[in-house]
Structure 1
């Protein structure tokens, strides 16, 4: 069992595939999608109220449901326009879950404050306590 240490001829074909560039590309695409996905979720164009910039706690892997109220007072569940009665039914379904999602409430800055209070009253009625009120940073 003697080993021979010979150089390969330069004209021989390479039988291995270098996968390092493919792995780098996969990680780069993963990072791009992780950054752009939260930006795509905000679909209803709203003029959100402004607040002073502060450090936001990082969100872990938690389910978030978005409730939006546009300047006309129309309530949206994600992208779908709904009435307050249907919102009440949907919140009732969420309250029966063992781990209810975080409710992100987005209200246009131009609407009457009472519209947001109406939605918050429905949330409190079903004893859902994980609420986030979205604002813009000045």
Structure 2
């Protein structure tokens, strides 16, 4: 901001020098004019299509059922298991070929950190097929 102290009136003159402001605004305008068209281009990719039919080879392997209650207790195929037993089951199931799918049914009020730990244990054991089981939305 430039302030002129001279002049005939004897007091300070309060005129704002807008030239630097205009220069900055023009530079920003040019930058946005160049980058705006680049942001609007979309990248085209081929998304996989959902196939509800599973091959017969996958149907022969029954999925692993894991239920997690609100208090954190876990039931592997409807049997109460501890954390160590669950990790052992994951390690055994990860070695099978073809590997069964782990289907996790967690209570709606279960803290996510419990489910996250179970997923981490499954991943560390080598499980690659993990699914979440939900209920259908209520029809109105």
Q: Please, what TM-score do these two structures have when normalized by structure 2?
A: 0.55
Displacement of 1:74: 0.4
2:91 paired with 1:92: yes
More strand by share: 1
Unaligned 5+ segments in structure 1 are 1-54
CA contact (8 A) 2:91 2:126 kept: no
Rounded to whole Å, the distance in 1 between the matches of 2:117 and 2:52 is 27
Match of 1:65 in 2: 64
Structure 2's unaligned 5+ residue stretches are 1-49
Report how many residues are paired: 84
Q: Which has the larger radius of gyration?
A: 2
Alignment of 1:100-115 (within 5 A): 100-115=99-114
Higher relative contact order (CA 8 A, sep 6+): 1
Q: Map Cα deviations across residues 41-81 of structure 1 (whole Å, 9 max, x no partner).
A: xxxxxxxxxxxxxx882455142110110112100101100
TM-score by length of 1: 0.56
